[in-house]
């Protein structure tokens, strides 16, 4: 089995080739960029790179333990809560005498006896079939084609 270099196996971009550049480029003195960034932006010549803005560790060394105080706690301080005195109700004393258990509804709307309603329609309907029904339906009469006697004809208007 042949051993492959990591740069030939993985193309995800997270892994770097462990062996670096080859000797051909080191001895020749030629610049061999490995990324597109190095091709577009070559390293500085005589000028120094800009200083880092990251704070140095020596400035942070003197700090002690954090207070744990937030700006909300420092701006809005709690105040003393005073409980309101509780209202003590008076002791219940029932009134002397009789109690009227009537309501205003009973007083205003007195009940009265209701009489049964007299029936207008008879309880049983008697169907009497005495004679023959002597009529002609409209589809046999020709109501759509013919005119009835009381119909008036309106004059036609031309447009």
Q: What is the mean pLDDT of residues 36-48?
A: 77
Q: What is the mean pLDDT of residues 19-46?
A: 65
Number of domains in the chain: 1
Q: Give the span between the Cα atoms of 76 and 137, in whole angstroms.
A: 95
Q: Is residue 63 part of a domain?
A: no
Specify the pLDDT at position 83. Answer: 92
Given the structure tokens 């029904």, which residue do they identify?
Answer: 133
Are 42 and 31 in contact, with CB atoms under 8 Å apart?
yes
Q: Is residue 25 part of a domain?
A: yes
Are 76 and 65 in contact, with CB atoms under 8 Å apart?
no
Tell me: the pLDDT tens digits for 87-96?
999 999 988 8
Q: Is residue 151 part of a domain?
A: no
- 3-state DSSP assignment of residue 88: coil
Tell me: the pLDDT tens digits for 44-77?
778 777 788 887 777 665 567 777 888 898 899 8
Instruction: Tell me the whole-structure pTM to 2 decimals.
Output: 0.17
- Segments forming the whole domain that contains residue 13: 1-42
């Amino acid at each position: 089995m042949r051993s492959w270099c990591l740069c030939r196996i993985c193309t995800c971009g997270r892994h770097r080739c462990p062996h670096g550049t080859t000797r051909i480029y080191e001895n020749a003195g030629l610049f061999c960029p490995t990324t597109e960034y190095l091709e577009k932006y070559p390293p500085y010549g005589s000028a120094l790179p800009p200083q880092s803005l990251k704070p140095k560790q020596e400035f942070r060394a003197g700090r002690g333990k954090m207070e744990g105080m937030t700006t909300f706690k420092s701006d809005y301080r709690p105040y003393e809560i005073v409980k309101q005195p509780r209202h003590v109700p008076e002791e219940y004393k029932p009134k002397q005498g009789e109690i009227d258990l009537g309501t205003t509804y009973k007083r205003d709307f007195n009940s009265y006896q209701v009489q049964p309603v007299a029936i207008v329609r008879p309880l049983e309907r008697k169907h009497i079939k005495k004679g023959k029904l002597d009529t002609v339906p409209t589809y046999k009469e020709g109501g759509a084609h013919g005119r009835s006697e009381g119909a008036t004809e309106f004059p036609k208007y031309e447009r």
